[in-house]
Structure 1
Amino acid sequence: MTDQAAIPLYMAREGLAPSAEASALRDSGRLLKVPVTLGSGEAWLVTRYADVREVLSDPTRFSNALSAAAAAPLSIGLSDEERARRRKGQLLAFDPPEHTRLRRILAPEFTMRRMRVLEPRITEIVDAQLDELERLGPGADFMAAFALPVPSLVICELLGVPADDRSEFQERTSRLLDMSRPREERAQVGRESDTYMRGLVARALADPGEDILGMLIREHRDELDADALTNIAGMLLTAGHETTANMLALGTLALLTSPGELAALRAGLDDAEQVEAAVEELLRFLSVAHSGIPRAAVRDVEIAGQLISAGDQVLFALAPANRDPGFVEDGDRLDVSRKPTPHVAFGHGPHHCLGAPLARAEMALAFPALLRRFPDLALAVPPEEIRFRPFHVVYGVETLPLTWTPTTGAGTDPQPR
C-alpha cells in the first residue's frame, strides 16, 4: 500500500483529483515550503492559477537556468564536464535568449500545420492498436495495448527510433520518472538512456533521414553538436510518449466513470469542435503533469503576499491550479461541453510544452476512434481496484482493464469479463 504521507504535496492525488490538502492550500491563498523531490532542499509551492501563471510567464524573476541543480541527483558519478555535456540542448535547463534560440530550431516540427500532415499516419497507428486491443479481447489492458503504444510509435517515427526499441525505452522512461526509486538507480537508468540516444544520433549523423533528427542535422548542424542532438532527442522521446499515454488512459477512465459526459461525447463524435473541447477539458481536469522543473528566484520577489528570497526554489502544482475557482467555475466537475479554457496542463509562458500540438492531435484522433470501435466500452474491474502511480513525475495508472461486447470472430485471446 502506498504511504500517502511520503508523497510530496504537489504530487498528491485522490483518484483523479488533486489531494484535499493541496486544494485547501490553494483556497487559502498561501504559499507553503515543501521538499523538492526532483532535487534537494525545499521550495515554495504555488497552487493558485493566477500565481502559477505569474511564475511560469516571467523568466526574468523565476529562472530555469538557476535551478538546473535540481537535476543533480541524476548526475551521480558524473564529472563537471559530463554534466555540462548533458545540459546542452536541454530546453528546460535554459532561460531566454538561449531557450528562445533552441525552441526556434525545434518549433517548426510541432506546428498545427505539421500535425495535419501527420494525421493520416497517426490514424493508421491508432487503428492498428485498436485492432490489437480487439484481438486480445475483453479484459485486455488498455494501457499496454493502446495508451502506451500509440504515442510511442508516433514519436519513434518522428525521431527515427526503430519500433522494436519501443518497449525498451518505455521501461527505462518509467523507471527514470518513478520518484520512489533510489536516486542511484535512476541515475544509472539516465546513463543507459544517454548511451542509447548517443547511438541513435551517431547513426543519424552518418545517414540523416527524413525524421526530426535528420532535419536538425541537415539544417542546424553548425548550431547543434552531437551532445545537443543527443539531449534533444532524449527529451523529445521521453516527453513525447509519457504524458500522452497517461492522458489517453486517465481520460478513458474519467469518461467511463462519468456516464453523462461519456454519452455527451459520444453524441458529438462527428463534431470536431466538440471533440477538441472535450480534449481540452480532459487536459484541464486531469493535469497529468504534476509540476515541472523548479524555478529559482532571480531576486527577492513577492507572490501571494509571501516574500521569496533570491535563490529560493519555487514549485507549482498544476492539478489544483487547473481547478481553481478563481479560474474556472465548478472546476472539480468534468464537463466535456465546457468552453475550452486557458488551462496550464501544458505549462505556460516561454516553456509552454513544445509538443502540445502533437499531444492534442493524438488525443483528438484516439478518443473518437476508441469510442466508435467499442460502443459499450466499460471498465473490466470496479473503479476502486484501479491502481494509480502516485510517485511518477507524470500521473497515471499501472493498468486499465477494459471490457466490451466482442463482435463475431473478434478476440482470438479473450480473457474473462
Structure 2
Amino acid sequence: MTDTLAPTTDEASEQHPEYPMPRAARCPFAPPPAMTTLQAEKPISKVRLWDGSSPWLVTRHADQRTLLGDPRISANGSLPGFPHQSPGAREVITRQRTFVNMDDPEHAGIRRMVTAPFAIKRVEAMRPAIQRITDDLIDEMLAGPKPADLVDALALPVPSLVICEFLGVPYEEHEFFQHHSKILVNRTSSAEDVGKAVTALLDYLDDLLTAKLARPADDVLSQLAARVTAGELTRRDAAGMGMLLLSAGHETTANMIALGTVALLENPHQLAAVRAADDPKVVAGAVEELLRYLSITHSGRRRVALEDIEIGGEVIKAGDSMVMPPSVANWDTEVFPEPERLDIHRQSRRHVAFGFGVHQCLGQPLARVELQVVYSTLFRRIPTLRLATDLDRLPFKHDGLIYGVYELPVSW
C-alpha cells in the first residue's frame, strides 16, 4: 500500500490551510497560532490533510461537545472519506477494527466487555500499588547518575508497569510492546511499518490469550479469553482489544507525565502549590488543569457526518468529514479565561482532553490516579528537581499523534 493518495484537484481545496498546523517554537504548550486565529475568526472551516482531502476543522469547545454528543456523526474509520490521521493510522483500522472506531450499538456492546475493570472504585483500589511503583522508580532514579532522563526513569515505566499488571502482560516484554507502540503513534511511520507493528502486537497478544485460556488469572486478558470461550468475541478481536488497551494505556499517560512535569517546572508558583498541597482535591484539580493546558491528543478526534448538520453557521453535509482537536477547544477563552495561564485552582473539569459523549476515553479513571500519584510524589520527594537543559532544546513530539517529549533530562 502506498503512503499517499493522489492529491485532490479541487481548486478550493488547494487553498485550505494544511493540517496539522505547526506550533510556535516559543510556546510549546499552546495550540498552533493559526488554529487559535481560526477559532476567533472562522471556528468551523476547511483544512487540507496529507491525502488531499478537506475535512471541516471544528475549533470551539461548545461545537466540539455538541458534535461529539451527536449520534449523527460516526467514528467508523471504514467509512468512505474518513479523515485518517496518517497512512499508518489508516493501516491500523484496515488491519484491526476496535470499538473506538465503531458506532452504537456495536460500539456499546463491545466496550461494555471491558468497562468494569476501569470503574472508579476498582481503579482507586490500585492507588497503593501505583504509589509503590512510583516510589520504587524514584528510589532507583535518585540512586543513579545525574542528569537522568525522566521519560525512561519514571514517565514511561509507571504506566507500563500498571497496564501490564492490569491486563496480565509480562512487564519483561515491555521493550517489545513499547517499540511497536511507538511506531503506531508516530505520524511519519509508513503504512508498511505500521502494518508490521500491528501484526506483531496482535500475534503476541493472541499467544497470551492462549495462555490465559489454559490458566486464567485475575486480569483483563483472562476476562477477554473468557469472552472468546463463550463465543462473544473472536480470538483476533480479543487480541485487538488487548492491543488497544496496552498501547493506549501507557503511551498517553507516559507523555502526560513527562509534559506535565515540564509545564510545572516552567511555572514554579504552580509547582510550589502542588508540592505543598495536603488536600488530595488540590492535586486532583492540578491534574485536570494540566490535562486542559496540554491536551496531548493534539491530532484531533476524527468523525464523518451521517446526516446534514447545521452548526456554527455552517452546514456539515452527510458524508463530510471533520477533525476536532482538543488542544484548541481547551484554550477556548469563552470557557477558560486566560487559557495560556496555568492555574491549578481553575475549575477545569469541562475540558475535552478525554473526549466527550459515548466515545469518552475508557481509561480516564486510571490515568487520573496515575497522574495524581506521580505529580504529588515526584515533587515532594525531589523538591529541587529541575530541567537539565533549556526548554527550547527539548525534543518535542511534533511528529507524533500524541504530543510529548522524546526525552526529558532532569537533575536535582
With structure 2 as the length reference, what TM-score do the two structures score?
Answer: 0.89
What secondary structure does 1:8 align onto? coil
Q: Which residue of 2 aligns with 1:8?
A: 19
Contact 1:147–1:246 (CA<8 Å) still a contact in 2?
yes
Q: In the aligned structure 1, how far is the partner of 2:89 from the partner of 2:390?
A: 42
What secondary structure does 1:129 align onto? helix
Question: CA distance change for structure 1 residues 231 and 293 in 2, over 3 Å: closer, same or farther?
Answer: farther
Q: Which residue of 2 aligns with 1:123?
A: 131
Structure 2 residue corresponding to 1:46, chosen from 52, 55, 58: 58
Q: Which residue of 2 aligns with 1:351?
A: 359
Contact 2:292–2:348 (CA<8 Å) still a contact in 1?
no
Question: CA distance change for structure 1 residues 76 and 31 in 2, over 3 Å: closer, same or farther?
Answer: closer
What secondary structure does 2:348 align onto? coil
Structure 2 residue corresponding to 1:256, chosen from 256, 265, 271: 265
Q: How does 1:226-305 map to 2 (within 5 A)?
A: 226-268=235-277, 270-305=278-313
Q: Deviations over 1:340-374 (max 9, x none)?
A: 33100000000000000000000111111101110
Q: In the aligned structure 1, how far is the partner of 2:189 from the partner of 2:210?
A: 31
Q: Which residue of 2 aligns with 1:26?
A: 39
Q: Which residue of 2 aligns with 1:415?
A: none
Q: Deviations over 1:261-302 (max 9, x none)?
A: 11121121x210100000000000000011455210101222
Q: 1:8 deviation in Å?
A: 2.8
Q: 1:76 deviation in Å?
A: 8.6
> Does structure 1 residue 86 correspond to structure 2 residue 99?
no
Q: 1:27 deviation in Å?
A: 1.4
What secondary structure does 2:126 align onto? helix
What secondary structure does 1:302 align onto? strand
Q: In the aligned structure 1, how far is the partner of 2:312 from the partner of 2:405?
A: 34
Q: In the aligned structure 1, how far is the partner of 2:389 from the partner of 2:77?
A: 46
Q: Which residue of 1 aligns with 2:198?
A: 190
Q: In the aligned structure 2, how far is the partner of 1:27 from the partner of 1:205?
A: 55
Structure 2 residue corresponding to 1:63, chosen from 46, 68, 74: 74
Q: In the aligned structure 1, how far is the partner of 2:314 from the partner of 2:272?
A: 45
Q: How does 1:362-381 map to 2 (within 5 A)?
A: 362-381=370-389
Q: 1:15 deviation in Å?
A: 0.7
What secondary structure does 2:96 align onto? helix
Cα RMSD between the aligned structures?
A: 2.3
Q: Deviations over 1:169-217 (max 9, x none)?
A: 1111111111112222222222222222222222222222111111233
Q: Which residue of 2 aligns with 1:204?
A: 212
Q: How does 1:126-141 map to 2 (within 5 A)?
A: 126-141=134-149
Q: How does 1:391-410 map to 2 (within 5 A)?
A: 391-404=399-412
What secondary structure does 2:398 align onto? coil
Q: In the aligned structure 1, how far is the partner of 2:88 from the partner of 2:260?
A: 31
The letter for the 2-side match of 1:227 is R
Q: Which residue of 2 aligns with 1:327?
A: 335
Question: CA distance change for structure 1 residues 314 and 67 in 2, over 3 Å: closer, same or farther?
Answer: farther
Q: Deviations over 1:113-155 (max 9, x none)?
A: 0111111111111111111211223210001110000001100
Contact 1:61–1:297 (CA<8 Å) still a contact in 2?
yes
Q: In the aligned structure 2, how far is the partner of 1:215 from the partner of 1:68?
A: 30
Q: In the aligned structure 1, how far is the partner of 2:89 from the partner of 2:37?
A: 35
Which segment drifts farther, 245-254 or 187-196? 187-196
Q: In the aligned structure 1, how far is the partner of 2:205 from the partner of 2:377?
A: 33
Question: CA distance change for structure 1 residues 378 and 164 in 2, over 3 Å: closer, same or farther?
Answer: same
What secondary structure does 2:148 align onto? coil
Q: 1:77 deviation in Å?
A: 9.1
Identity, % of aligned positions:
39
Q: 1:7 deviation in Å?
A: 7.7
Q: 1:329 deviation in Å?
A: 1.2
The letter for the 1-side match of 2:287 is V
Question: CA distance change for structure 1 residues 301 and 10 in 2, over 3 Å: closer, same or farther?
Answer: farther
Count of paired positions: 390
Task: Extract unaligned runs of 5+ from structure 2.
Answer: 1-16
Q: Which residue of 2 aligns with 1:408?
A: none
Which segment drifts farther, 274-283 or 190-199? 190-199
Q: Which residue of 1 aligns with 2:10?
A: none
Contact 2:209–2:225 (CA<8 Å) still a contact in 1?
no
The letter for the 2-side match of 1:171 is H
